Structures are given as structure tokens and as C-alpha cells.
Amino acid sequence: MTTSSQPYIKFAGPIITPEMAAEVNETLLSGWITSGPQVAAFEKALSVYHAGRPARVFTSATAAMEVAFQICGIGPGDEVITSAMTFFSVGNMIEKVGAKTVFVDCDLHTRNIDIAQVKAAITPRTKAIVPTHFAGLPCDMDALLDIARTHRLRIIEDAALAIGSSWHGQKIGASGDIATFSFHPNKNMTTIEGGAAIFADEAEAKRAQVLRFHGITKLADGTRDVDVAGGKFNMSDVSARLGLRQLEMLDAWNVHRRELASVYFKLLTPIARDSSMHIVLPASAHTGEEDGHSWNMFCVLLDFDALGFSRKAFIDAMHAKGVGIGISYEAMHLSTLFRAKGHQPGEFPNAERIARQTVTLPLHAGMTDIDVAHVVSRMMSAFGDLFPR
């Protein structure tokens, strides 16, 4: 049980100030709560943040990705390459538009897509590549964009975890093809629920606006028409108003997240060097990219077979000690959906090891250095309680 001297440390937690709540309340009372002036303002702010590229907001990053696939003309007969180590939404949306999901493995430390395997997986039917910037660490976008240019492929970046991350000094989304972001409460900024896509092409951004609202276009005489089957993915002004203020705080929050991550490394690196502890830490950054990681998550690998206790036992022990723990992520190709399509264990060893061994430690802008120290201390205490005697 937790005590007052050991406050519960949440796995994730958005920061919503009284001022933000007051502005949301003001929007609620304005009489205009669905998509309107706040959505337009939020999209403009996102565009400015991403070097002037057009932005469109949605009810979720999943919706943004589905629309991105539609814009790219991806459908039956097409293949889309993605990592087996990503959230379920990526594979779900590829399958939903009728394309085939082609999995490749990831790097064990960065958890990002294996570039060499991407090259090997390309066929005449390949239409796009979907890299996930795992935990906010950018993939090698130079290599991926070079592959895309060579083979005339689209790149749809799953940047759900990477708002504010950068590659060679450019924000993810400020270059490349299409990038999709999540504003779920466990991300670095929130709109409660919501997402966005950043486009390289204004015409595609305008098309996304049509596709997110039933496929409707307005005609000169004031009537409406539909020339494509669209969805209903428009963000509310209430969410957008919160997003505007969250975006203003994002860079400062990301700086703080990097500081918290550095404390985790300081405390855990000596422990990880002890081979008996069976701990693998995440990659801190790509060479020369130390400030580009937005640190949405801090995921460590624990070899539970070698340690002699289960992940469930560890998570339960940490919860009892007042620490929330997550699992990020399962290996997508081993989900029931993709097992039914013929996938099986052994195909992607790194993704499968990560899926077996990963535990995600608390990391959010509301934490302090002392909180991180408490997490590590309680982690070692849990180890002591669980090690076989």
C-alpha cells in the first residue's frame, strides 16, 4: 500500500492549468463548440510550429492516418511497410483501407524501424512506408526519404508519440511527406482526444479537410455535393482551444521531459551495467541528435525469464509501491488479427523480445527529479521482493 510519505507516481498525466480550464469553459459558453474559429486558430498555430506547412486536425491520430492513406490512394492490392513494434492503430488502418500490411523488424535499442529490412521488403506493389518515431525518438528520416524517392513511395510518419521531436534541427512534420500526431492525454500535449496531420502539399491538406467531414464539398449555389466517401473526424472548438494553450507550453515541457530522462539514465545506467540485473535501457538519441528526442515514454527491457519472476508480478509490485507502469508495445504481427493472416512467432526477434520484456516507467512533465529517483528506488525494492530466494 502507498502512504503519504510515498505518493503515487502516475504513469502519465496531462498538465491542465486553471487558466486553460477557464479558456475551455469560455469556449463552451460561447455557443460555438464544434469545429469553428478555434479549430482554424489551432491549425494555423500548428502550421507555424511546423515551418508553415499546412495542418489539419482530427478527432484522433488514427483518423488522421486513415485520411492520409485515402489521400495517398492506398487501397486493395497495395502493400504498406511498417514496423512490427508499433501501436495497433497503424496495422488497423492499413487493413481498414484494404491494403496489405508488410511487417519488418525494429532496432532493439531505438525500437525504430529497421532500414535495411525496409529496403528488402519493397516489391512492385509497395505503395507506402509508415515509420513510427518510437517514444519520440525520430527514425532515420534521411534514409527513409531517400528510399521513398528512389522507389516513388509515400512516407506517412506515425508521429503519434513525437510532437516536438526534431531530426537534424527540423521539427518532425516540418519536412518529409505526411506526418500524423496524437493529442491523447498520455502524449506530450493534449486536446483530451484528438490528432493532426501535417502535409507537404496544400491541395492534399484541403482534400483531408473534405475527407474528415463526410466527403462534402460546397458548391457555388450554396448546395453541397459528395464525390468521395468521407468520414466524420472533425475536431471540436473546445478541444482546439485547449490545444492552442498546450502547444504554447510544448517546447518547455519537452525540455523538462529530456531532463527527467537524463535522471533516469544517471540512476539506471550503473544498474544496467550489472549483467545480473538483466536490464536494457532505451537509446538516448541518435548521434548528433541529442536534443531531438521529445521523450514521450521511457521504456526499459527486463529479462523476466532470467530474473525468475513475471512481468505481471513486477507491475503489481510497482503498483503496490505507488508507481504506475505501462507496456509499450505488444508485437503487432502476433495479434489475433495478424496471426489469422499467417504471422507467427519467430519472424521479428527484436520486436518480439521488446514485446515480452518491455516495461514503461512514468515520464511526464508533471514529474520532478525526486519522482524519478522514487521510481528507481521502488523498482530496486520490487526486485528485492521478487527475486527468488
Question: Which among 214, 243, 272 is the end of a domain?
Answer: 243
pLDDT at 276: 87
Q: Are 192 and 84 in a shared domain?
A: yes
Does 265 map to a domain? yes
pLDDT at 212: 97
Question: What CATH number does residue 349 fall under?
Answer: 3.90.1150.10
Does 5 map to a domain? no
Q: Are 302 and 254 in a shared domain?
A: yes
Does 104 map to a domain? yes
Query: What average pLDDT does this structure show over 289-311?
Result: 91
Q: Are 322 and 268 in a shared domain?
A: yes
Question: Which among 204, 224, 243 is the end of a domain?
Answer: 243
pLDDT at 389: 59
Q: Which residue has the higher pLDDT, 204 or 3?
A: 204
Q: Are 231 and 263 in a shared domain?
A: no
- Alpha carbon of residue 294 to chain centroid: 11
Q: Are 181 and 43 in a shared domain?
A: yes
How many Å apart are CA 327 and CA 356, to the nearest integer?
A: 9
**Percent of the chain residues past pLDDT 70, beyond the cut:** 97
- In this predicted structure, the answer to whether residue 288 has a pLDDT above a threshold of 90 is no
Question: What CATH number does residue 218 fall under?
Answer: 3.40.640.10
pLDDT digits (tens, 9 = 90+) for 223-279: 999 999 999 999 999 999 999 999 999 999 999 999 999 999 999 999 999 998 999
Query: What average pLDDT does this structure show over 314-343?
Result: 97
Active site residue 187: yes
pLDDT at 290: 57
Q: Are 239 and 305 in a shared domain?
A: no
- Number of independent structural domains in the chain: 2
Q: Are 180 and 256 in a shared domain?
A: no
Q: What is the mean pLDDT of the chain?
A: 95
Q: Are 98 and 131 in a shared domain?
A: yes
pLDDT at 5: 61
pLDDT at 300: 97
- In this predicted structure, the answer to whether residue 4 has a pLDDT above a threshold of 70 is no
Question: Which among 193, 210, 243 is the end of a domain?
Answer: 243
Q: Are 90 and 171 in a shared domain?
A: yes
- In this predicted structure, the answer to whether residue 383 has a pLDDT above a threshold of 50 is yes
Map grid coordinates 514521450 to a residue.
Answer: 296
pLDDT digits (tens, 9 = 90+) for 347-357: 999 999 999 99
pLDDT at 29: 97
Query: What average pLDDT does this structure show over 54-73?
Result: 98
- In this predicted structure, the answer to whether residue 286 has a pLDDT above a threshold of 60 is no
pLDDT at 387: 85
Q: Are 122 and 188 in a shared domain?
A: yes
Does 279 map to a domain? yes
pLDDT digits (tens, 9 = 90+) for 154-200: 999 999 999 999 999 999 999 999 999 999 999 999 999 999 999 99
pLDDT at 131: 98
Does 4 map to a domain? no
pLDDT at 287: 46
pLDDT at 388: 76
Helices (H), the chain: 18-29, 37-49, 61-71, 88-96, 115-121, 141-151, 202-211, 237-272, 304-307, 311-320, 336-339, 349-357, 369-386
For residue 32, count CB atoms less than 10 angstroms from its CB and return exposed for 0-12, middle for 13-18, buried for 19 or more.
Answer: middle
Q: Are 258 and 236 in a shared domain?
A: no
Query: Are 123 and 76 contacting, i.e. CB atoms less than 8 angstroms apart?
Result: no
Q: Are 219 and 333 in a shared domain?
A: no
Range of the domain at 190: 18-243
Q: Where are the beta strands (DSSP E) in 36-137?
A: 55-58, 79-83, 100-104, 126-130
- In this predicted structure, the answer to whether residue 322 has a pLDDT above a threshold of 60 is yes
List the catalytic residue out of 127, 171, 187, 321.
187
